Amino acid sequence: MGSFVRKPDDLSDLQGQFLASLSHEIRTPLSGILGMTDLLLETQLSDDQSEYVAATRLCAENLLEIMNVTLEYSALAANRVIIEKTEFSLRHTLESVVGEYAFKAKAKGLQIETAFNENLPETVIGDALHLKQLLGHLISNAVKFTSAGGVEINAGVASNSDSGTRLRIQVRDTGIGIPASQLATIFESFRQLETGLARGHSGLGLGLAVVQKLASLLQGSVSVSSELGKGSTFTLDLPLRLAPEAGPRKVELKKVRGRVLVVDDNAMAQTVASHALRRQAFEVQCAGDGLSAVDAASKSQFDVILMDLQMPGLDGFETVERIRKLPGYGATPIIAVTANCSSDYRDRCASCGMQDFLAKPVRTRDLVQTVEKYLEAS
């Protein structure tokens, strides 16, 4: 008998399945840690208690960052990254990324300043998800290697053409800087600064490698200039298409509070989501599995449903399929909230009729804002 040899494609698929499973198992407890610390920081705490909770949250965010960059690099190396072309608000996207790193910068006593040029187009067509990843890595890197001063993010239009616009983003910091001898290799995989100034900073050395690979996939470029001991400036250039101008839209004030069904087999995830939403005057009901969710929806009308995807028995996709068949649920906003953030899962969510996708760990403010967005649009 001949020996069995696994094909490269099979090995790649197996690696992808393993990473997806690992992501889910790590993101689930991290969601509880980050969510509970968010809720705890909103309560009355002593100065010492606030410091302890903030430190705990910072450690959890560092762990999440390491996991995210590992998964991103693995997906890029295996050519599993799908580039999307969707319409999105450019300024809002940039501001949301900066907001995500404001807490980490504040914890280090740093200021994050932004300067967005007035010539930035309001709506563009491109890959918002990977733009956020690119900018997030650059800001995270700047905050990580800066101990005093701050970080400045400038954004504007580098050039215009008939086909669209070229976005230029510069991230400047007042950190340790990069030796001239290492500037040529700073975007290589697993590359860490060899200067003694950087030895106290943890990390895998993959963030900038991911930035360069993603920028190339998006037909853009990234470069760096730096002076040792004074800071660095990373410049990102990306092509974007201009979205067609829409006509004037009538704006109506609508009630945004409503009834939310939280579907998740993890009790901690239920607690975090329900507390965050109830604090904003939403009425919340939780279901611990798919069958319970279908039963709850058949007995009551919900305005928004937050749906975990990986549950025992009836998974999230099957649950959505059954709920869609119930009277009154043909167009109800259903938002996937899952620890598996792969492109395949995102595509499956869209194809089965879910309106949005949130990757765990979800910040409580993002969860609330997403629910509000769909209630305002209804």
**Per-residue pLDDT tens for 277-329?**
998 889 999 999 999 999 999 999 999 999 998 888 899 999 999 999 999 99
The pLDDT of residue 256 is: 43
pLDDT of 116 = 92
Q: Regarding predicted confidence, which is higher, 152 or 16?
A: 152
For residue 160 the two structure tokens come to: 């215009």
pLDDT score recorded for residue 378: 60
And the tokens for 171?
Answer: 């991230």
Per DSSP, helices labelled H in the chain are 8-41, 47-77, 90-107, 128-144, 207-217, 267-278, 290-299, 316-324, 343-351, 364-377
Q: Which residue has the higher pLDDT, 103 or 364?
A: 364
The answer to whether 356 touches 374, Cβ cutoff 8 Å, is yes
For residue 96 the two structure tokens come to 């949301």
pLDDT at residue 155, as a whole number: 95
For residue 254, what pLDDT is reported?
40
Length of the chain: 378
CA neighbor of 323 nearest in space, from 263, 258, 256, 266: 263
pLDDT at 195: 45
Average pLDDT, whole number, for the chain?
Answer: 82
- The letter for the amino acid at 23 is S
Tens of pLDDT, residue by residue over 161-176, are 777 899 999 999 999 9
Assess whether pLDDT exceeds 80 at residue 331.
yes
Using only the alpha carbons of the chain, give its radius of gyration. 22
Q: Report which of residues 247 and 35 the model is more confident about.
A: 35
Q: How far apart are CA 277 and CA 279, in angstroms?
A: 5
**Could you tell me if 240 and 128 are in contact, meaning their C-beta atoms sit under 8 angstroms apart?**
no
pLDDT in tens, 59-105: 887 777 777 777 777 777 767 777 888 888 898 889 888 887 887 88
C-alpha atoms less than 13 angstroms from C-alpha of 306 in its C-beta half-sphere: 33
Rounded alpha-carbon distances, angstroms, from residue 55 to 58, 271, 340:
5, 22, 26
For residues 203 and 356, give the distance between their C-alpha atoms in angstroms, rounded to a whole number: 31
d(CA 179, CA 258): 55
Residue 264 CA to residue 24 CA, distance in Å, equals 13
**CA distance from start to end of the chain:** 64
Q: Does the model's pTM come out above 0.85?
A: no
Structure tokens that stand for 139 in this block: 């800001």
What percent of the residues of the chain are helix, what percent strand, and what percent coil, each to the nearest 5? Answer: 45, 20, 35
Domains annotated on the chain, with CATH: 8-77 (1.10.287), 86-242 (3.30.565.10), 259-377 (3.40.50.2300)
- 198: DSSP letter: G
What is the mean pLDDT of the segment spanning 109-134? 89
Label residue 315 exposed, middle or buried (CB < 10 Å: 0-12, 13-18, 19+): middle
Q: For tokens 């990324």, name the residue.
A: 97
**Bridge partners, 305 (sequence order):** 261, 334
Cα→Cα distances 294→125, 138, 208, 262, Å = 37, 43, 44, 12
Burial class (CB in 10 A: 0-12, 13-18, 19+), 285: middle
**For residue 5, what pLDDT is reported?**
42
CA distance 186 to 203: 14
Cα separation, 103 vs 60, whole angstroms:
13
223 forms bridges with which residues in the sheet?
235
